[in-house]
Structure 1
Amino acid sequence: MPLPSTFPTEAVLYRASSQLNFAEVLAIKVVGQPAKPQWRPLVGLKDMPDHRATNKYLLKGYRAQDDISLRTALFRGHSETVNIWSHLAGSLLLLPCLFGDYYAHWPWLSTVLRVHAAIGICCGFASVIFHISESFPLDVYNRCIQLDYAFAFLATVSHSALLAAVFFRETPQVAVPLLALLLLISVLGVRLFVAQTDADATNTQRHADRGSTIRVAGIMLAPVLLAVPICAHVLLFDPDFGPVVLSWMLSFAVAALAWLFKLPERLFPPGTFDYVGNSHNVMHVMVLVTFLFLHNGSRALLAKETRLLEAETIEVKHGNHCF
């Protein structure tokens, strides 16, 4: 039996979705929900509003703009499935880092390590929330992309903070002011992200999306540039920490290049990587690798130095006893 004429049709819902807020769409979905839940049809790039049509090389597999089903987002194969589950898995993989060893010789550095892990976990969950909300009404989408960008920026700052903390581990009088500066950059950066996405909410043309990407990349470069002298010194003069930093830099570069230049899909016929293997998928995986390289590498270095300090302490005690 067809729905009563008072219920909106799918076509009406789709045309109106960009002007509805989340509460209105949810009310319509509840009233018009069929007795047996069914998958909504996936749609193509040509059916996307401008704020979602940001990659011309991905042609199909998109959830319809008014689809607010968590069941669809989490348990159906679509263009965001890999993005959602890769960051969910990544957050779970980072959980053990939150409860890693405590280094009595560097108590403040132990705190930096825990903050680094916590930000990584939150960054993963923020990305999951954003990719779930991609097909939600624009008011929800804008808030979720604010959350995603803010934690992506904080994650970048946390990398620089951990690099600085490990590099200046024996000179906290240098490390602490630098960490305070990075904290200030974090606060200012998050405020800029919120202001930027609020401004972009009123203009979702494609040229605005590109401009937003450039501004986001520029803001994220600030903490990276602070880390450049540290990385250069470590690579040249620190054989223990150098391989860790090199691995971190290479994985970070792969993530950034894939995201900025839409690789590998740019090199293949459009539609090749609609579901798996596109630039956003690559970036998600490499962001996790970046976190694990730097975090676990830093812990391995500190564990090694802790063992050496303990051995020296034992030798000194035994030497004093013999004397």
Structure 2
Amino acid sequence: MLDTTRITHYLPSFSFSFEYNIRFHLQRLHLRAKSAFISLQDMPHYPLRFNQVPPLFCEPFILRGFRSIHQPWSYYLKSLFHKHNETINVWSHLIGILYMGYLLFFYYNKRLNFYENSHSWPFAVSLCTAIIMFICSAFAHLFHSKSEKVHMSCFLIDFIGVSFHGFGSGFLQIYYSAPQWFYEKIEYYYVFILLILGILACFLNCFAQYYYCRPYPPIKRICQFFPCGLLWIYSIIPLCIRLYSSNILSHPALICHLIQIILFLIGATLFGFDLPQRCCPGVFDFIGQGHHLFHLCIYFVTVCQMHGVYWDYEEFQKIIDQRSKPELIFCAGSMLSLLAWDIIIVCFFRRKIHKKYHMH
């Protein structure tokens, strides 16, 4: 027979031991976290002021928050957990990587079945291009302060992301959101046009980065914004047609399309005209400057884009499924073609930039 008295005799000590162990492990975990945080704070003190770094690293109307140059790579990696004028730029797009990865591998994969449903492949391509864009941007803003050469190379890589995002947006919106009559007109060459515009955006951005020196003249931003604007306008033509011919409040997809267009215009305006820091130099160094707001706008633009287009696919699935099925080589091949051209462009200008700085 079971002796319950012996069990109850040991229960109090067992309970106390369990509570003690939990408390002990929590204390150890707290001390380790505190020690790791303190070790990160032992880095050289920054932010630096604009007059303490080379002109290449200075942004208009940003006075503080610059990191030291010529430090070990670990210095810039650890700066991910510190306050400087690039912290928001890095974290906004790190979050974008995680969220787009979740949409690609879990949320939309479950709903669209990327492996078997060939009509969902353009959606998968667009999610991949969004992830590449966020990776390129986060990498550039985290590590560009190491040196002049690294700075230039990092933002050449960033322009690959810009090119990819424009291409992926067009690929997504033209395939799923374009009215059938518009899709039938451009069906055979829309990817070719997207490729040309994506390559042009990468090339002109890299050229402007190489050719113009600080203080940058206004023509530099025109050279960068013009091809990106063309790519963006081409990608949203289907959305504009839908918005013009429909009751916007009749479907959540249309609301998403309108929001993403407005957010992109707001973000581009703030970034292009250095707002709001132009009005209050030094006030928005760490949070709230135009570049930060542009990054946040791009994140929410991408989120609205994905959800809005998914709702379009749900609404027009019967029409879309009647189209000729996209081939894997068509979807993956177009993305890889753009990547190949962008890498060639970046390598070309990177060599020219290294020669330029070597001569100096």
* Equivalent residue in structure 1 for 2:305, among 294, 300, 308: 294
* Equivalent residue in structure 2 for 1:284, among 289, 295, 315: 295
- Cα gap change, 1:278 to 1:113, in 2 (>3 Å): same
Q: Is the 8 A contact 1:123 1:155 kept in 2?
A: yes
What is the identity, as a one-letter code, of the residue corresponding to 1:251? L
Deviations 1:128-171 (A, max 9, x none): 11111231111111111001122113212322332211234746
Q: Is structure 2 residue 235 aligned with structure 1 residue 231?
A: no
- Cα gap change, 1:149 to 1:67, in 2 (>3 Å): same
- Cα gap change, 1:265 to 1:193, in 2 (>3 Å): closer
Q: How many residues align?
A: 268
Q: Is structure 2 residue 212 aligned with structure 1 residue 206?
A: no
Give aligned-pair identity as a percent: 18
- Structure 1 counterpart of 2:71: 67
Distance in 2 of aligned mates of 1:63 and 1:258? 24
Q: Is the 8 A contact 1:150 1:193 kept in 2?
A: no
Distance in 1 of aligned mates of 2:54 and 2:45? 16
What is the identity, as a one-letter code, of the residue corresponding to 1:121? I
How far residue 107 of structure 1 moved from its aligned partner, in angstroms, is 5.2
What is the identity, as a one-letter code, of the residue corresponding to 1:271? G
What is the identity, as a one-letter code, of the residue corresponding to 2:299? L
- Cα gap change, 1:228 to 1:75, in 2 (>3 Å): closer
Q: Is structure 2 residue 158 aligned with structure 1 residue 154?
A: no
**TM-score, normalisation: structure 1:** 0.74
Q: How does 1:1-323 map to 2 (within 5 A)?
A: 38-42=42-46, 43-56=48-61, 58-68=62-72, 69-99=75-105, 100=108, 101-102=111-112, 109-168=119-178, 170=180, 173=184, 174-200=186-212, 204-208=213-217, 210-227=218-235, 229-239=237-247, 240=251, 241-267=253-279, 269-306=280-317
- CA-based RMSD: 2.8
Q: Is the 8 A contact 1:130 1:148 kept in 2?
A: yes
- Which structure has the greater CA radius of gyration? 2
How far residue 305 of structure 1 moved from its aligned partner, in angstroms, is 4.1
Q: Is the 8 A contact 1:60 1:274 kept in 2?
A: yes
Q: Which runs of 5+ in 1 are unaligned?
A: 1-35, 311-323
Tell which deviates more after alignment, 270-279 or 157-166. 157-166
Tell which deviates more after alignment, 176-185 or 277-286. 176-185
Deviations 1:217-252 (A, max 9, x none): 011011123245433321121344432321110111
- Structure 2 counterpart of 1:318: none
Deviations 1:36-83 (A, max 9, x none): 994223210122322221222x21121122234134421221111111
- Cα gap change, 1:309 to 1:246, in 2 (>3 Å): closer
- Cα gap change, 1:97 to 1:74, in 2 (>3 Å): same
